């Protein structure tokens, strides 16, 4: 039963759908998808076209907006919007340390999670679209990993789309995860250098924290073991528009004086565990590298292996000399499944996914080259999370896709830019700019 309610300027309706767990076995087990329908209060009775929003991730539910912020206000000027919690996320049937044991042991859990990639998400969208639109095609707006899903949508079911919009999420069509991370580490180093140039006092602050973690066993109140590598992973903040400033404020009061000497403050530890914990989005860690897998090769903890090719990220070596300690970015490592209590029970499952071979292709280059769906993409210059050269190569491979390349925003431009990013993409697909 659908339930509707109001927020300022918007009417929201909870929607629930049943879809096959494995779309190749439509008569088999099913899972539930949750989505929130949003429509402008003054348009609630109108027959409007639909826009489905695919959140970044993988592993995050759709934004829980209050009112009409960011891009949503612009979308509600002309669309009904469906904010979809992709399978396994948000209020959809969950996949986490508490529920995955219902599948069986690690091998069964890994087989289950192999069904949580972009191809399954696209097929979910096609399964629910007739119930939502009455069969009419809809517009898709994909942010980050949602953009990966959008390109998969154009490959697998373009007939379901009237328009395709991508922000910060054009994937390589054929790069292995190793290629992705070899391109990523130099970008991350540039972002860290830019942060240190903006806040030079943070060079010494990061060194001091890293040295403390190398000589002390620090366990956060949640049970998260804060190693120096875990601390370095806070560099993921630098991929967002305000992330450098947030990181600076986090670092400035890291220590407090105690009877036994300087210790990391409770306030610092509380903030850090909130930033590092995967309790709310375990799929991000479990299937992150699998979103790049498309052939016989395993991902085999790609980010960890490739990191060894960039020794400047070794904190101990940096501390032994006078080099700044580099932070890392959007990478998943096996040690995370030791440090994080939300991931520890899933370590063997993660190992099996990392070793998995025979991944199916996610994109169809021939179909993309013949694309007829109006499409546009915002490509953020030197995006920390998505390699620009990979994104532009893919843009050239999708017939008719128009790009807006900008350095005005970081990866979160669709949030930070208010209505401007969506407005620009719609103008591009409508030949209004």
pLDDT of residue 1: 62
Enter the tokens of residue 187: 């970008």
CA distance 189 to 317: 16
Q: What tens-digit pLDDT sequence spans the chain (433 residues)?
A: 678 999 999 999 999 999 999 999 999 999 999 999 999 999 999 999 999 999 999 999 999 999 998 899 999 999 999 999 999 999 999 999 999 999 999 999 999 999 999 999 999 999 999 999 999 999 999 999 999 999 999 999 999 999 999 999 999 999 999 999 999 999 999 999 999 999 999 999 999 999 999 999 999 999 999 999 999 999 999 999 999 999 999 999 999 999 999 999 999 999 999 999 999 999 999 999 999 999 999 999 999 999 999 999 999 999 999 999 999 999 999 999 999 999 999 999 999 999 999 999 999 999 999 999 999 999 999 999 999 999 999 999 999 999 999 999 999 999 999 899 999 999 999 999 7
Burial class (CB in 10 A: 0-12, 13-18, 19+), 426: buried
Residue 211 is predicted with a pLDDT of 98
State the pairing for strand pair 161-167/30-40: unpaired
Of the candidates 383, 390, 397, 412, the residue annotated as catalytic is: 383
Dmax over Cα atoms in the chain, in whole Å? 70
Taking Cα atoms as reference points, which of 135, 113, 115 lies closest to residue 123?
A: 115
Give the residue range(s) of CATH 3.40.50.1820 domains in the chain.
Answer: 3-173+363-429
Burial group, residue 77, by CB count within 10 angstroms (0-12, 13-18, 19+):
middle
DSSP string, 253-288: T-EEEETTEEEE-HHHHHHHHHHH--TT-HHHHHHT
Look up 144 and say whether it is catalytic: yes
> Which of 118, 120, 144, 155 does the annotation list as catalytic?
144
- Beta-sheet strand order (sheet of 50-54): 3-7, 10-20, 30-40, 80-85, 50-54, 138-143, 161-167, 375-380, 402-406
- Give pLDDT, residue 433: 79
Between the two ends of the chain, the Cα-to-Cα distance in Å is: 43
Give one DSSP letter per residue of 193-223, joined into a string: HHHHHH-THHHHHHHHHHHHHHHS--B-TTS
Q: Tell me the CATH number for domain 3-173+363-429.
A: 3.40.50.1820
Task: Report CA Rg, the chain.
Answer: 22
- For 5, which DSSP code? E
Q: What is the pLDDT of residue 346?
A: 98
Which of 112, 390, 411, 412 is the catalytic position?
Answer: 411
């Amino acid at each position: 039963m659908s339930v509707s309610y109001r927020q300022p300027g918007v009417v929201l309706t909870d929607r629930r759908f049943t879809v096959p767990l494995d779309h190749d076995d439509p008569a088999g087990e099913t899972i539930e998808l949750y989505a929130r329908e949003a429509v402008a209060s003054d348009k609630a009775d109108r027959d409007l076209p639909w826009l489905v929003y695919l959140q970044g991730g993988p592993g995050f539910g759709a934004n829980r907006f209050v009112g009409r912020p960011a891009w949503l206000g612009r979308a509600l000027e002309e669309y009904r919007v469906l904010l979809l919690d992709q399978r396994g996320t948000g209020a959809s049937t969950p996949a986490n340390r508490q529920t995955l044991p219902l599948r069986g042991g690690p091998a069964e859990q890994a087989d289950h999670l192999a069904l949580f990639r972009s191809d399954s998400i696209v097929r979910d969208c096609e399964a629910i679209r007739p119930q939502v639109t009455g069969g009419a095609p809809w517009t898709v707006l994909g942010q980050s990993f949602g953009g990966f899903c959008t390109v998969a949508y154009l490959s697998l079911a373009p007939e379901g789309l009237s328009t395709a919009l991508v922000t910060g999420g054009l994937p390589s069509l054929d790069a292995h995860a190793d290629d992705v991370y070899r391109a990523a580490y130099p970008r991350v180093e540039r972002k860290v250098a830019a942060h240190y140039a903006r806040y030079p006092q943070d060079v010494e602050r990061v060194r001091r924290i890293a040295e403390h973690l190398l000589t002390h066993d620090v366990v956060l109140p949640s049970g998260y073991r804060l190693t120096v590598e875990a601390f370095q992973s806070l560099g993921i903040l630098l991929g967002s528009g305000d992330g450098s400033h947030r990181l600076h404020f986090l670092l400035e009061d890291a220590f407090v004086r105690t009877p036994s000497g300087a210790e990391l403050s409770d306030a610092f530890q509380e903030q850090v565990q909130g930033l590092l914990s995967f309790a709310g989005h375990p799929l991000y860690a479990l299937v992150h590298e699998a979103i790049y897998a498309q052939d016989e090769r395993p991902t085999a903890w790609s980010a960890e292996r490739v990191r060894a090719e960039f020794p400047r990220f070794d904190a101990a070596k940096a501390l032994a000399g006078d080099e700044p300690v580099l932070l890392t970015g959007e990478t998943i490592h096996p040690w995370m499944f030791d440090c994080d209590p939300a991931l520890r029970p899933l370590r063997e499952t993660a190992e099996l996914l990392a070793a998995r071979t025979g991944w199916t292709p996610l994109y169809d280059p021939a179909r993309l080259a013949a694309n007829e769906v109006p499409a546009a993409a915002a490509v953020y210059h030197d995006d920390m999370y998505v390699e620009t050269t990979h994104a532009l190569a893919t843009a050239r491979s999708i017939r008719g896709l128009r790009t807006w390349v900008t350095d005005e925003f970081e990866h979160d431009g669709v949030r930070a830019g208010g209505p401007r990013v969506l407005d620009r993409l719609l103008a591009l697909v409508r030949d209004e700019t």
